[in-house]
Structure 1
């Protein structure tokens, strides 16, 4: 991306003309659409699909420059990540202020609000840890709430109403 285009995108982002995640999604090789709930749905090369809640503050990163994002940075609200491990090699991670959630191939939701990151696994398994700390492994239906600190992370089976409420925000 040349300097002029980067400047134009930065100005459009600052003015609120382009949703935060959209510009970064385009640079990560993804196509962006909207669903009926005003959520962004990003279809990316390599079997990665990201659904972002309206107003989510996130960006996608293609660290190895293979044309498919391998990481998301999430600062506010929720995203649902679906990684098809038959198409996507090398895993995928979501980095928030409180946690890092990493997988090889699965579907999971990550929500950032009020100084806490919540992770819920829909399919597959996800390793979650603080930036400095030991990981816990989540299976389908399990979640963890991560706050600042050093205490152990507690994996819990999420009650159906809590899981349904988060997934409904993401069009599921």
Structure 2
């Protein structure tokens, strides 16, 4: 496959992944669909790190735009553009790694929830993982179904960031080939 076409395919795949990351991070601010928890500051600490919004969102979306341009004819569809795509893809790798690390830490620590009368992270530093033992989820009394909410969205961020990492790393390799060998874009009308 031509390096320019490969760049376009990678960029087109990165767009929805970046949007999914942004949406997941925004939704995480509203457990049980209620704004009150965010107002009161009762949201999981890792949500505030905005791994999905900044890392998997903006830091992947901007490189995706440039990578898409390298696949087109014109100013960016040349060896220099492919060289720059390597740098932009490296920014995407950094963003995806940030999102990945935040999601892993969040899944490891568990959600912030109301346990009896106090707000705490009951599964943090516990001997058994709450991820494999759903019988301990009852400890979280509020927000409603917070454990499922937390696992679902942070798992989505985890998978999304893995895919972004693979795509951005492959664009770095593709950009290297495009820089060394050219983009092989057609010069004539299509």
Structure 1 and Structure 2 fold alike (TM over 0.5): no
Higher helix share: 2
Report the TM-score when normalising by structure 1: 0.24
Higher strand share: 1
Report the TM-score when normalising by structure 2: 0.23
Q: Which has the higher contact order (CA 8 A, sep 6+)?
A: 2
Query: Which of 1 and 2 has greater Rg?
Result: 2
